[in-house]
Amino acid sequence: MTPTRLYALVLAFGTATAPHGIAGICAAQGDDPVATVRPATAGSLAQRFATTDQAELLLLLDELGHGPGDARQAARLVGELLLAGQSDAVTDHALSSLGRLGVREGRASLLAYLGHRRVETRTRAYEALGQLRDRSDTPTLALGLRDSAPDVRATAARALGELRAADAAPLLLRALTRGVAEAAAALGKAGDAASVDEFGKQLGKQSLDVMLTGYANYLAREDLGDPVKLKIIAALENVAGGRVKQFLSEQSKTSRSQKLQRAMLASAARIKLEAPSPPSAAPAPAAAAKEPVR
C-alpha cells in the first residue's frame, strides 16, 4: 500500500466528529487530502527526519516553527512522518509542530487526528488547527466544543476566540451554558455587539470570575463602540460587590477612552462595600466551682 493511499484511509477513518467526515471538509475547502503529503525534498531537513532515534526526532520536531526555514517543506515532512505511524509522544509533538509552522500544508494531517482516541492528541490537533488562523476552519473547530473531554472543549473555545470567529458566537454561548468556562473569554474576543446582551444574561448563572474574563476582552476591543461598553459597565455596577469594584478600577487604567475611564471610576465609586461585621465577643470563662466547706 502506498503512503498516499494509507493517508487517504487515515482521513477516512477517525472522522466521526465531522458531519461529512474530515475528508469531506478537505474536499469542500479545496484541499486534496492525498496530494497534501508529497515526497520529501532532498536536503538536510529531510535527512534529519530519516533518523530512527526518537530523542533526536522529538528535538527536531520541537525546533520546527521557531526559526527560519521552509515551513511548507517542513509541514510535508511532518505529514509523511505521521503517515508512517509513530509513538504517542512523537505524534503529539508532530501535531504541535504543525501548529507552529502555521501553513496549510499541515492541515490535512491535523484533520485526521481530531477524532483520535487519546484526549491529548485531539487537544493538540485542535490547538494546532486554530494556529493556522484560517476562519474557514471555524465549523471544524466548533466540533471540538462538543467533544467528550473538557480539555478538548476548552482548546476549541480558545481557538475560536483567537480566530475572532463572530459566526461562532452562538455556539460559544451554548458551550458556556454547558460548562465550558473558556467560552466566556472567547466570546469577549469573537462576539459582535449583539452578543453582549446574550452574554450578559449569564450574569448570576455563571461564576463572576468567568464572566469577567469575557467582559475584559469585550472592553479591550477597539471595534466595539463606547455605547456597547457603557452598557457593560452599567450591568456590572448592578451586580456590585468588591470583585466588580476592583475589576472596574483595573480596567479604567488600561482603557484608551477617557469617557470610559470616567464611567468605570464613577461606577466603582458608587459600589459601596458592606463593612465587615465586628467579631462577636468571646464568651466569659465559666467560674471555677468552689470546693464544698467541710
pLDDT digits (tens, 9 = 90+) for 169-187: 999 999 999 999 999 999 9
Residue 86 lies in a domain: yes
Alpha carbons within 13 A on the beta-carbon side of 7: 26
> Cα separation of 268 and 233, whole Å?
9
Q: What is the mean pLDDT of residues 46-61?
A: 92
DSSP letter (8 states) at residue 164: T
> Cα separation of 126 and 145, whole Å?
10
- Determine the pLDDT at residue 206: 96
Average pLDDT, the chain: 85
Instruction: Say if CB 169 and CB 151 are below 8 A apart.
Output: no
95 strand-pairing partners: none
| Predicted model pTM | 0.77
Burial class (CB in 10 A: 0-12, 13-18, 19+), 103: middle
Residues in the chain: 294
Residue 101 lies in a domain: yes
Name the domain count of the chain: 1
Residue 269 lies in a domain: no
Residue 87 lies in a domain: yes
- Determine the pLDDT at residue 291: 53
Alpha carbons within 13 A on the beta-carbon side of 47: 3
- Determine the pLDDT at residue 286: 58
21-28 helix and 3-12 helix, angle to the nearest 10 degrees: 110
- Determine the pLDDT at residue 69: 82
pLDDT of residue 225 exceeding 60: yes
pLDDT classification of 94: cutoffs 50, 70, 90: very high
Place of cell 477524532: 115
> Cα separation of 142 and 132, whole Å?
15
Residue 160 C-alpha cell reads as 475560536
Share of the chain above pLDDT 90, in %: 72
Cα radius of gyration rounded to whole Å, the chain: 27
Residue 255 lies in a domain: no
Residue 96 lies in a domain: yes
Residue 199 lies in a domain: no
> Cα separation of 220 and 254, whole Å?
8
SS3 221: coil
Q: Find the domain containing 98 and state its range.
A: 1-132
Within 8 A by CB and 6+ apart from 12, the residues are 21, 23
Residue 291 lies in a domain: no
Residue 29 C-alpha cell reads as 475547502
Within 8 A by CB and 6+ apart from 20, the residues are 28
- Determine the pLDDT at residue 254: 93
Buried b (16+ CB within 10 A) or exposed e, 105-115: bbbbbbbbbbb
pLDDT of residue 116 exceeding 70: yes
Burial class (CB in 10 A: 0-12, 13-18, 19+), 253: exposed
